Structure 1
């Protein structure tokens, strides 16, 4: 038996959190770290940036341009090792690097391709495949198409990578039984291992791969895949976790150690046990994070993923500041992604140009009448200042598939600022009636309308990061139910994060079962209400702090002889409002702007089974209107105490039309956009009433229709202070531009 390669120690625990270098320091943001010895592929050592260097490099503006990506990102070795591909695999693969393929891509309106880059087999192994990019890039340059490549950020091929990098055996994440974590816990890709991101050397390896793809092959766009930190039980990981706890709580100080004791009940930070489950009850099957060890462990893993992203982004931007990176977090598929994959998009977004979320939420109405939409994800990503790359529906040659694709494209144009992500994948021979090229031409023709905009909304919905982790089931179900009701009612809403940036532009803040909210956020909410804002708390909103601990009993308890645990569970709105006011420290007129509503009821709620071994999933099958949705919407209107910005009356009783308002950042003009989620039924007529004061002086408007080359004038009428117009027939989408 061959001798096992030596286990050379890698000198790098990634220190999280780490204090950034003060401004004005001679180190500054330009500080760099030199790796000892050669880089992993044997090239002479190069300087790589510290993980905080990318703080000084701006990410691409979300109001960029139309993004239409064509994907063929797997190398030949992947297709062969996975099995079940073509018998003429090499010839089939070669066809994607030809001038004929580039001509097809240009005809389809592609702006960017994602082609095979670094897959995790090892840079030396993959060099011959990468050489195909050099002549291919010349073909793309002549066609005006950007070269993007795939970048594997979270796994490597055990059969080739260790041969090329024997030291990487020390980087591999081990499960509780000491076995390498594989790419998938099912039957797929058992030959791919997952890294432990406490080893900075892994992140530097991928960062070097990114720089190689930029410098040697001219890549300017990256699809960064498989970002995750699986539960790891190596001594190296545990050492890093203990250091994280010491840094987070500052246990070297008297005050910091006291805080740790308040959290854990003892001062023995060095003895903290890593969370673990059993084969019958794995950790991934949990629906919440009830104790501080779980909460900190999940946060640490999420910050490791963000640290990996920081290092890769900094290296790529150092090689070319104009490079754009899209990180796949797969976070809105429906799993408890912070626990299962350690992906927290709010940690990653500051270091990414785009976020990728693999899900099955493509827009449609199901056979049982439920409206599915990717708007939930698009609005969250917009709140983070980014655009999302999302999967389109599966394309076939039938009319229903064409309708679904056209609807998806227009939903992405309206709500995702013209980012079409993976518009084409692996097959570029489209039937003549495929709607993608024509729809893309329409959106590009009106690019300034769809990309250079902000929303016009009355309502902010808090997407609480702490609640989504500590109370995943309650917070996720409550948020989806509330947002579903608002969207289907045509109310204009946005997501806001716990920082509550820009909150003052909204009339109403809704807290949909945001159970665990930081004290600083609660204080900001109180200031918002004192300034005239209004709050509708749903379910158990605000009942716990950022540690998941129940807030102290309020002064209101003696008035109602009730307990905090009853809050949010009944129709006792007066009582709930008094509790809410006490938590926020509000009284008088300010307290009168607080409203409460009981927990939203799902028609088929997810019931957590402690004996189940599968991870719970709240995916598109769980998207639904709440059973008490009408009462909730009545409570929203009562809390708003103002007419909705948009009201629609459709001539089709079965139509599902949803309006959206956007404002141009160029000239501040308003535009209206309407999607029909049942495109198989053409909307014969649609009467729209707009309650915006700034439209009262508008005397004309023009209609956008995808199947028309010209803008069509539409009459504008007045009904009191409202602007009223009737739109012509449309199938998937229509828009209105207001102006003279």
Structure 2
């Protein structure tokens, strides 16, 4: 198995395998969750959100009356505080409240999640329990503890998982949570090691990096990649600024790339150890991690966070991207669809904030609708917690009721994709240049055009055969195995659209002397852009590049907070991409919508036909659009289901396809189009 960052030598599969993930039945039926994971000690020590009645509010959060309110609101999951990093002994009094709350919740049929702070700890109190915990801290090159939250929260330190005692104590925390709370879910918060240039300089990390390099690079490969004789020791890079500032456009230094992959590997191994430990204690517990979100920037390159390596180890993912699904004033569409599509490829439940005190009911409603439309195992997380200073949107009950009324539709749906766009890690992880821009624009194009598509990682290349068309952009560096898989895919009859100079470099960023398109065509004359060339039983077309409608942010703008919403617009040459897709799929795609700007679609199959989830990101009342369908069996019934009722939709024959007309004057934000064939039609 090759490392998912993409440039490492093969390591034994046993090095990466975790115990089997659990899939309890309740995970399929939809999760409506709230949380109160900030214990009072943290609220007081941090100093923000404080009020004179904070103790009374905190008691109310744990009360029987609040639990009854949660039941009335349709909540079936509460994620409550258990360990915030102060120590099991220091938090014992607050933990008793959490245990009592868990007992009350279960009495009313509400499942319980236990919050565990992974990323930071508080030595001021933990030292009373673990006298040498100061040594756990991640340190900088001068030996000083790193401050993940800066001087404003200097009482919080970040633990280094390579330090002796750190993971052992986390196992104690998980064991205590299982014993005291018996949780259905364990949430690991702040699961990251920090940015690469802030990474730990302790002796344990140095030794771990050197051992990793020796294992990942046998002597012959060591010399090939680094130029060194095997007896030379590769020292960890000294990054004194964010990687995108050091390298500007691309990480060329192979030692930094190796360091990045080691950074990812430390996280993978730590997570695998804790998850395996927890599952041995409670096989049906699910694990949820918060890595900060997948917000359109290079998370792997900045944080050393390998999503494709972490997702297979857990059952749930927490996304903290706060972009509101909407039509922006300049016309672009923002949404968390990327995060939903990536996590559902690993069959993960995804928690995303659906409303908070900084947004109004309309925003909250679209967040809830977006989760219903795109979330593989539906989870609605409503921020914040009733009984506190919380916010429960007025739109919330309607969406929860809709989920419950149509639970079977959500439980049985399976994503349908005609197109796959692939995030090739060998190109994107070391990239802070056009690769990321091209990738984001390709995804944006498919989203705004309403295509049935999925987003894969390059390490999932074995799955591309299930899609009719592959759109490959932002992949300037590919390895031989990925290229061979693409060649086989096209030879077997697949359609491939290439945008830009794909495959110019190998996984070590070495120039190959030709692009992937040249090699696929054996350097024959290339077809004109948007025209198809035959390879085996398949077709290949290309466009020179995906052209942004506005200048894409430059590399100096890269930051974890910069999510480029302004640039998330339909590409300027979207029509050229339309033509290229049509050229490689001459018989047409299964679904082709014609809808007002801002209406987006997600497609599923179920046991009775198909579901099309429609989401209007513009604040409009009513909807009229058409959907051309090319399905194996002709639809005989189409109905639009919304929170306000059900509307029959007209079906018309169009040559080799059918056209479904959707017209509902009462449509508000979200609905499901049910398409049924003769066997699945309702009487």
Q: Same fold (TM over 0.5)?
A: yes
Q: Using the TM superposition, give the Cα deviation of residue 507 of structure 1 relative to its aligned residue in structure 2, in angstroms.
A: 1.2
Indicate conservation of the 8 Å contact 1:158/1:192, yes or no.
yes
Show the counterpart of 1:424. 383
| CA radius of gyration, larger in | 1
Q: Secondary structure at the match of 1:689?
A: strand
Tell me the SS of whatever aligns to 2:127.
helix
- Residue 305 of structure 2 corresponds to residue 368 of structure 1: no
1:574 positional shift = 3.6
**Corresponding residue of 2:602:** 660
1:517 matched to 2:478? The reply is yes
The change in CA–CA distance for 1:57 and 1:417 in structure 2 (over 3 A counts) is closer
Q: Which moved more, 1:99-108 or 1:329-338?
A: 329-338
Q: Evaluate the alpha carbon distance shift between residue 283 and residue 606 of structure 1 in structure 2; reply closer, same or farther with a 3 A threshold.
A: closer
Match of 2:422 in 1: 462
Pairing 1:505–2:447 present? no
Between 1:445-454 and 1:74-83, the stretch displaced more is: 445-454
SS in 2 for 1:529: helix
- Cα deviation, 1:374-415, whole Å, max 9, x if unaligned, reads 111111112233232222243579xxx323222222221121
Asked whether the 8 Å contact 1:417–1:451 carries over to 2, the reply is no
Q: Distance in 1 between matches of 2:16 and 2:260?
A: 22
- Deviation (angstroms), 1:556: 9.7
Cα separation, 2, equivalents of 1:190 and 1:17: 41
Distance 2:431 2:284 in 1: 39
- 1:702 & 1:280 partners in 2: Cα distance? 52
Q: Distance in 1 between matches of 2:416 and 2:365?
A: 24
CA contact (8 A) 2:39 2:94 kept: yes
1:280 Cα deviation after fit = 9.5
C-alpha separation in 2, matches of 1:492 and 1:308: 36
Matches for 1:194-343 after TM superposition, within 5 Å? 194-199=158-163, 201-230=165-194, 231-249=199-217, 256-268=218-230, 271-278=233-240, 287-343=249-305
Look up the match of 1:441: 401
**C-alpha distance after superposition, 1:186-232 (max 9, x if no partner):** 44422111122223531221122012111122222122111112311
CA contact 2:137–2:159 (8 Å) conserved in 1: yes
| Cα offset, 1:180, TM superposition | 1.1
1:242 shift after superposition: 0.5
1:490 lines up with 2:450 in the alignment? yes
Which residue of structure 2 aligns with residue 408 of structure 1? 367
- State how 1:592-611 maps to structure 2 within 5 Å: 593-602=539-548, 603-609=550-556
Question: How much has 1:428 moved relative to structure 2?
Answer: 5.4
2-side partners of 1:385 and 1:555: how far apart?
Answer: 31
Structure 1 residue ranges without an equivalent (≥5): 1-15, 22-50, 250-255, 563-571, 582-586
1:719 corresponds in structure 2 to 654
* CA offsets 1:225-270 (integer angstroms, 9 cap, x no match): 1111231112211111000011111xxxxxx211110100112565
Q: Distance in 2 between matches of 1:219 and 1:647?
A: 44
- Aligned 1:620-639 pairs, distance under 5 A: 620-639=565-584
Q: Count residues with an aligned counterpart.
A: 659
CA contact under 8 A between 2:613 and 2:670: conserved in structure 1?
yes
Structure 1 window deviating more from structure 2 (155-164 vs 114-123): it is: 155-164
> How many Å apart are 1:369 and its aligned residue?
1.4
1:165 matched to which residue of 2? Answer: 130
Contact 1:470 / 1:548 at 8 angstroms: preserved in 2?
no
CA spacing shift, 1:616–1:117, aligned 2, 3 Å: closer
Q: Does 1:644 align with 2:589?
A: yes
Alignment of 1:118-129 (within 5 A): 118-129=83-94
CA distance, structure 1, for counterparts of residue 579 and residue 474 of structure 2: 18
**Cα distance, 1:538 vs structure 2:** 1.2
Q: Give the Cα–Cα distance (whole angstroms) in 1 for the partners of residues 216 and 353 of structure 2.
A: 37
Q: Structure 2 vs 1, CA of residues 223 and 286 (structure 1 numbering), >3 Å: closer, same or farther?
A: farther
> Match of 2:563?
618
Mapped partners of 1:136, 1:155: distance in 2: 25
Moved more, 359-368 or 274-283: 274-283
Equivalent residue for 1:673, pick from 610, 613, 616: 613
Range with greater deviation from structure 2 (443-452 or 111-120): 443-452
Measured in 1, the distance between the counterparts of 2:518 and 2:668 equals 55
The alignment yields a C-alpha RMSD, in angstroms, of 3.2
Contact persistence 1:17–1:244 (CA under 8 A): no
| Structure 2 residue corresponding to 1:64, chosen from 9, 16, 28 | 28
Secondary structure of 2:161's aligned partner:
coil
| TM-score, normalising length: structure 1 | 0.82
Output one character per residue of 1:274-318: Cα deviation in whole Å (capped at 9) or x when no partner: 222336988688553222111111111111111121111112111
CA separation of 1:217 and 1:605: change in aligned 2, threshold 3 A? same
Give the stretch that moved more between structures: 69-78 or 336-345: 336-345
- Measure, in 2, the Cα distance between the counterparts of 1:222 and 1:514: 36
Gap change, CA 1:462 and 1:395, over 3 Å in 2: same
Q: Which residue of 2 aligns with 1:686?
A: 625
Alpha-carbon deviation of 1:18? 7.8
1:592: Cα distance to partner? 6.9
Alpha-carbon contact 1:324-1:353 (below 8 Å) kept: yes
Match of 1:111 among 76, 86, 99: 76
Contact 1:363 1:407 in 2 (8 A): yes
User: Which of 733, 737, 740 in structure 1 is aligned with 2:670?
Assistant: 733
SS where residue 259 of structure 2 aligns? Answer: helix
